[in-house]
């Protein structure tokens, strides 16, 4: 880590009532997340002791994100522009959202952490939210109904802010690239085709003969995924488009709670590496199928969509967005239905490895380094355990019945 770079950043950060920073005295760092909690960056928690201009010592805490040191990791980050995307969101998009909030006297808390600084395009320094009593929920347990509804409403607020920026042309749809997961052939192979094929093989060999039809459908889905996703992700100006967070799952949301309770009182979305401009339903689908306990999602699906739509309408109205262009609940339902094959893909791929009991569920960079056989990065055990099957078997039956697969 470069102490001089950090010192430059921290000197820019003014604290009310405290003298300026003279120099850094020491830096301590430790991994901010355990293995299996993050997949595409090195994330460090830093404790920085500084000397102020009056001679006194003070301590700063921050999060430092950097490109992985391994060659495959660096190549992956370069090809997918994940650091470029995140830096643009923090440095431009979120700043413009703050301006918009001030314009409309929206005095609610921000939905993001504070950017301390960055270096193009390999590192980002951010506010350490853990010092502000924000925590990440357990990725294996996923979100309960109360946290899910809170997050859905907050996501709608984020989308509303972005929609106004797009409407005013403050931000252009082309400022961020398309969602690589479903537009880049190599990424589709890595994150969907290889998972569909691996799950098909596992179902055929381990789930029993009563699931033979699922194995066949999964195999068919692996053959059509490229064309279906690339068609699905095409940008259409007639849809209600927003700046999607892009990776809205349990570990990329931090909650604060009412003291002494488990009731959420605040939320911060973090990790904007997959941000892109497209239909709101890309974020909402990803969130529902990758963050919420599947039994809750199935039982409360319409309640969750309704909470999102009502919040979206409330904030778009507050920000004086044209009322005739605000999606109603049926519009939301229809758009979610259009992306249901994406929901299926998220559930059996990204959700399978991000919520797995093991921290060795998926080696992203091993998969990236084996372009002809990306399935080599998948730990097949995630598909044979009861933990996974108990969560998704009912969904698989629904997807087959509805003709999604």
pLDDT at residue 1 above 70?
A: no
Spatial CA neighbour of 315 closest among 326, 300, 306:
326
Mean local confidence (pLDDT), 206-233: 98
Spatial CA neighbour of 359 closest among 78, 39, 64, 104:
39
- Residue ranges per domain, the chain? 1-66, 77-111+135-402
Lowest mean pLDDT among 13-17, 40-44, 148-152, 242-246: 13-17
The pLDDT value recorded for residue 171 is: 97
CATH topology of domain 77-111+135-402: Aminoglycoside 3'-phosphotransferase; Chain: A, domain 2 (3.90.1200)
Q: Report phi then psi at 276, rounded to 5.
A: -160, 160
The pLDDT value recorded for residue 383 is: 97
d(C-alpha 243, C-alpha 275), whole Å:
7
For residues 155 and 283, the answer to whether their CB atoms sit within 8 Å is yes
Residue-wise pLDDT for 263-284, tens only, equals 999 999 999 999 999 999 999 9
The pLDDT value recorded for residue 403 is: 97
The pLDDT value recorded for residue 375 is: 97
Residue-wise pLDDT for 135-194, tens only, equals 999 999 999 999 999 999 999 999 999 999 999 999 999 999 999 999 999 999 999 999
Q: Are strands 42-52 and 135-136 parallel, antiparallel or unpaired?
A: unpaired
d(C-alpha 278, C-alpha 159), whole Å:
11
Residue-wise pLDDT for 108-134, tens only, equals 999 999 999 999 999 999 999 999 999
């Amino acid at each position: 880590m470069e102490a001089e770079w950090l010192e430059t950043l921290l000197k820019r950060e003014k604290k009310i009532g405290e003298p300026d920073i003279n120099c850094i005295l020491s830096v301590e760092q430790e991994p901010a997340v355990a293995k299996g909690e993050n997949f595409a960056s090195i994330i460090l928690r830093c404790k920085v002791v500084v000397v102020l201009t009056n001679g006194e010592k003070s301590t700063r805490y921050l999060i430092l994100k950097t490109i992985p040191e391994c060659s495959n990791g660096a190549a992956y980050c370069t090809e997918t522009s994940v650091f470029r995307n995140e830096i643009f969101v923090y440095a431009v998009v979120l700043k413009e959202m703050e301006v918009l909030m001030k314009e409309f006297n929206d005095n609610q808390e921000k939905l993001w952490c504070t950017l301390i600084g960055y270096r193009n395009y390999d590192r980002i320094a951010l506010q350490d939210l853990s010092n502000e009593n924000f925590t990440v929920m357990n990725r294996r347990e996923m979100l309960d109904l109360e946290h899910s509804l809170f997050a859905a409403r907050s996501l709608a607020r984020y989308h509303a802010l972005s929609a106004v920026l797009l409407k005013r042309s403050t931000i252009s749809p082309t400022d961020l690239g398309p969602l690589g997961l479903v537009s880049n052939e190599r990424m589709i192979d890595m994150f969907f085709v290889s998972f569909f094929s691996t799950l098909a093989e596992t179902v055929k060999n381990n789930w029993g003969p009563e699931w033979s039809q699922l194995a066949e459908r999964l195999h068919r889905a692996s053959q059509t995924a490229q064309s279906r996703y690339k068609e699905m992700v095409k940008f259409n100006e007639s849809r209600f488009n927003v700046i999607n967070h892009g990776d809205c799952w349990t570990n990329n949301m931090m909650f604060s709670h009412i003291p002494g309770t488990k009731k959420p009182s605040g939320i911060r979305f973090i990790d904007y590496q997959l941000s892109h401009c497209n239909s709101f339903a890309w974020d909402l689908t990803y969130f529902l199928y990758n963050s919420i306990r599947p039994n809750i999602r199935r039982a409360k699906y319409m309640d969750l969509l309704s909470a999102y739509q009502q919040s979206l309408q409330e904030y778009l109205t507050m920000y004086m967005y044209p009322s005739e262009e605000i999606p109603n609940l049926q519009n939301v339902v229809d758009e979610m239905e259009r992306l249901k094959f994406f929901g299926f893909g998220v559930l059996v791929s990204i959700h399978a490895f991000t919520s797995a009991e093991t921290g060795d569920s998926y080696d992203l960079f091993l998969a990236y380094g084996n372009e002809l056989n990306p399935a080599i990065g998948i730990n097949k055990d995630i598909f044979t355990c009861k933990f996974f099957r108990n969560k998704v078997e009912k969904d698989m039956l629904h997807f087959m019945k509805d003709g999604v697969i």
